[in-house]
Chains A and B, each alone.
Chain A
Amino acid sequence: MNGAQQASLPTTARGASGWRGASMRLLRMFPGWRLWRFYPALLFCVLAVLGWECMARVLHSALVPDVGTIAGEISRILTSGEAFTQIGITLWRIVLGFAAAFIVSVLIGIACARRPAVRIFFEPAIVLGLTVPGLVWTLLCVIWFGVSLATPVVAIALGIAPTLILTVIQGVNSVDPDIMEMARAYRLRRVDVFRRIWWPSLIPFLFSGARIGFSLAWKVIVLVEIFGLSDGVGYKLNSEFSLQNVEGVMAWTIVFWLAMSVLEYGVFQNAERALSQWRREART
Chain B
Amino acid sequence: MSRRIRFAGVSKAYAQRAGGNRDVLRDFDFEIAAGELVAFVGPSGVGKSTLLHLAAQLDVPDRGAVTIGADGEYPGRLGIVFQQPRLLDWLTVRQNLELVLDGHDDARIDELLAIVEMKDFVDAWPRTLSGGQRQRVALARAFAVKPEVLLLDEPFSALDELTGRRLRLLLQQLWLKGRPPTGILVTHNMQEAAFLADRIVILQGHPARAVDVIDVDLPRPRSPEDECIFHIHRRVIACLSGFSQTNRLEGVS
Contact indicator A192/B99 (Cβ below 8 Å): yes
Contact indicator B88/A186 (Cβ below 8 Å): no
Contact indicator A179/B88 (Cβ below 8 Å): yes
List which B77-118 residues lie within 8 A (CB) of chain A.
Answer: 78-80, 82, 84, 86, 88-91, 99-100
Contact indicator A185/B90 (Cβ below 8 Å): no
Contact indicator B78/A5 (Cβ below 8 Å): no
B123 within 8 A of A: yes
Contact indicator B58/A181 (Cβ below 8 Å): yes
Chain B residues positioned under 8 Å from A2 (CB to CB): 120-121, 123-124
Contact indicator A278/B58 (Cβ below 8 Å): no
Distance in Å from the Cβ of A255 to the closest Cβ of chain B?
A: 38
- Of B56, B90, B145, the residue contacting A278 (CB under 8 A) is B90
Give Cα A179 to B90, complex, Å.
12
Please, how many residues of chain B have a CB less than 8 angstroms from a CB on the other chain? 23
Interface of B is mostly: loop
Contact indicator B80/A182 (Cβ below 8 Å): yes
Contact indicator B124/A185 (Cβ below 8 Å): no
Chain B residues positioned under 8 Å from A5 (CB to CB): 124-125, 128
Chain A residues positioned under 8 Å from B127 (CB to CB): 278-279, 281-283
Distance in Å from the Cβ of A199 to the closest Cβ of chain B?
A: 10
Distance in Å from the Cβ of B106 to the closest Cβ of chain A?
A: 17
Distance in Å from the Cβ of B90 to the closest Cβ of chain A?
A: 4
Residue of A nearest to B127 (CB): A282
Give Cα A283 to B133, complex, Å.
14
Distance in Å from the Cβ of A284 to the closest Cβ of chain B?
A: 9
- Of B56, B86, B88, the residue contacting A200 (CB under 8 A) is B88
Give Cα A171 to B27, complex, Å.
41
Residue of B nearest to A199 (CB): B90
Chain B residues positioned under 8 Å from A181 (CB to CB): 58, 86
A187 within 8 A of B: yes
Distance in Å from the Cβ of B34 to the closest Cβ of chain A?
A: 20
Give Cα A179 to B174, complex, Å.
24
Distance in Å from the Cβ of B155 to the closest Cβ of chain A?
A: 13
Interface mask (A111-123 → B, CB under 8 Å = 1, otherwise 0): 0000000000000
Contact indicator B125/A278 (Cβ below 8 Å): yes
Distance in Å from the Cβ of A277 to the closest Cβ of chain B?
A: 8
Distance in Å from the Cβ of A276 to the closest Cβ of chain B?
A: 8
Residue of B nearest to A201 (CB): B90
- Of B100, B120, B125, the residue contacting A282 (CB under 8 A) is B125
Contact indicator A186/B100 (Cβ below 8 Å): yes
Contact indicator B86/A186 (Cβ below 8 Å): no
Chain B residues positioned under 8 Å from A186 (CB to CB): 78-80, 99-100, 145
Contact indicator A187/B58 (Cβ below 8 Å): no
Distance in Å from the Cβ of A107 to the closest Cβ of chain B?
A: 23
Give Cα A1 to B91, complex, Å.
13
Q: Contacts A179-B88, A182-B86 given: A187-B128 contact, CB under 8 Å?
A: no
Chain B residues positioned under 8 Å from A187 (CB to CB): 78
Contact indicator A4/B124 (Cβ below 8 Å): yes
Distance in Å from the Cβ of B27 to the closest Cβ of chain A?
A: 26
Task: Determine which residue in B90, B91, B120, B125 has the highest number of CB atoms from chain A within 10 A of its CB, and name it.
Answer: B90
Chain B residues positioned under 8 Å from A188 (CB to CB): 99-100
6 new A-B contacts at CB < 8 Å, known A2-B120, A178-B84 = A8-B128, A178-B86, A185-B58, A186-B79, A186-B100, A192-B99
A interface residues (Cβ-Cβ under 8 A, vs B) = 1-2, 4-5, 8, 178-179, 181-182, 184-188, 192, 196-197, 200, 276-279, 281-283
B interface residues (Cβ-Cβ under 8 A, vs A) = 56, 58, 78-80, 82, 84, 86, 88-91, 99-100, 120-121, 123-125, 127-128, 145, 151
- 6 A-B pairs within 8 Å (CB atoms) are namely A178-B82, A182-B86, A185-B151, A188-B99, A200-B90, A281-B127
